[in-house]
Amino acid sequence: MAQTSTNIQSAYNYKTVQTGTVISFSAAGNKIISSDTQAVTFSAWSAFDLIRVTGSNLNNKIFTVRSVAHNGSYLVVEESVTDENSISNLITLTPYGVITDKYEGDGFYSQVDGMHTVAYYVTPTFAGSIKMQATLEFQPTENDWFDVADTNFVGDQSTTARSFNFIGNFVWVRAKCYNHSAGGITKILYNH
């Protein structure tokens, strides 16, 4: 029986860096907040985007966006945020990449061969890395994901497509684009 590939990531391009002194952090709800959306708006960000925060006293790390306020005034992130008021520090939110949603692996259906295939398609100007991650948990948290060996693609600004086979009885799989600094992803196709 012929199988068809699932498009697990559609077009994704590098996003704009956000910098300002009107950015604060709230542990209640794990929010990154802009108190002045004229100066800094988060409306271009989307769920599953990865952002690197710098310039903060307490929150310099990479966060995964869970949701964005409809008016762009705040982001809710997966990771814990430490309370920090908007101060005179120049805080920068730099695009770091994106994580796809989760997709069923062979382990989800109790299939025995564990064979999976992924194909990454990127623009000629893509600068960054993409890898597959998997989990054995049916209801995974962020801490349950691990990197799948031998699925890492590093953009060299000349290769626009690359595929990998990997074996494992994974319940869920997802793709992670990271260290993204230019260009974009055209699509990521997955088959199991």
Note the pLDDT tens digit of each residue in 22-56: 999 999 999 999 998 888 899 999 999 999 999 99
The secondary element (H helix, E strand) that includes residue 148 is: none
Domain boundaries defined on the chain: 14-96, 100-191
Express each pLDDT in 124-181 by its tens digit. 999 999 999 999 999 998 899 999 999 999 998 888 999 999 999 999 999 999 999 9
Return the bridge partners of 135, or none.
Answer: 172
CA 81 – CA 43 distance, rounded (Å) = 20
Provide the pLDDT confidence category of residue 114 given band limits of 50, 70 and 90: confident
Mean pLDDT over the full length of the chain:
92
Q: Which CATH number fits domain 100-191: 2.60.40, 2.40.128, 2.60.120, 1.10.10?
A: 2.60.120
Asked if 117 and 59 touch (Cβ cutoff 8 Å), the reply is no
Tell me which architecture the domain covering 14-96 has in CATH: Beta Barrel (2.40)
Q: What is the pTM of this model?
A: 0.88
Cα distances (angstroms) measured from residue 35 to each of 24, 74, 180? 8, 9, 27
Residue 84 is given by DSSP the state: B
CA 187 – CA 190 distance, rounded (Å) = 10
Q: What is the pLDDT of residue 2?
A: 43
